[in-house]
Structure 1
Amino acid sequence: MSAARVPLRVEPLSREAFVPFGEVIEAGTTADQFAINGGTSQRFHDLATLEPGTEGRLIVSIFRAQPRALPFPVRMLERHPKASQAFMPLSGRPFLVVVAPAGALDPGAIRAFLAQGTQGVNFAPGTWHHPLLALESVSDFLVIDRDRPEENCDEQVLPQEFSLALEPAC
């Protein structure tokens, strides 16, 4: 691995920018929404297409992520080729999402997004991504992904290290 770190620019997470990697999950104005429960609740409907893959089943878990200190070295990515994987923050804190398109891993196509505490992501099957990158403090995430029957995780070490940092606000 090269000793020089390549800086990775962090973008705000948006539905449009994240399309090549999956879906943004959020109760936004573009979501199909309607009142339910006698008008006491608002339903934001069908926010992500969850894919269990052939013979898979979807499970719901909670992941508790330790905060990462910035700048953070990105040295590897993983993917789940058989099914989607969705993360929704429960702690209301922002987190970082590092991704690359499905297929052969292209380090030049790696992108980083800053997700707000009200935004989740659903990685499309095969999308390369870094494991959870919580910021600030320990954070819980609701995770919907595939349970076995067979393994569904590939990891790849990157040929060069990327440096992940947030630019100071002006």
Structure 2
Amino acid sequence: MEGMFRANCGYGYVKKPDILLNEDEVFDPKALRPVQKVLQVLVYMGDGWRSDFGPTHFDFYSPPDFRVQIGIHGVPADKSMKYTRTIEDDWVPLWNEELSFPLTVPELALLYIKVIERDFSGSHDFGGQTCLPVSQLRQGIRAVRLRNRKGELYKSVRLLVHFHFVDAA
């Protein structure tokens, strides 16, 4: 729910979307609907881990191997999870990968972004996360700040991404 309250900077009440306030029709999240918009997320690069973490936090003998996981949480038809490729041995990874998400109810969709450091020999390490309401995203290039597992902002860790909406035909 923390992602939904980012719409008002975490200060409390968030008005329900109009689709939920229609008195004439009960909203059914499982109903089949046409795609309204396609959210295209171009992940350019990430930076700041070297500043916020020690040199051996992720790997003892080499720079980290980062990968981005991006997903949509919302009505069942909109839910999906996609991944960038892993950039090996780089504190400032450059992905330049575009991921597309068709949305049937964009008013209820949340964009979840998580960075992991892949360990090919064991469990993966957490590199940061954020959750943003799709209705609050603005088109263009953005520096998205990431948070720790408790939801606190890292001082320096950011992803440079480009958000673009395409109306469904």
TM-score (norm 2): 0.28
Between 1 and 2, higher relative CO (CA 8 Å, sep ≥ 6) is seen in 1
Q: Which structure is higher in strand share?
A: 1
Bigger radius of gyration among the two: 2
Q: Which structure is higher in helix share?
A: 2
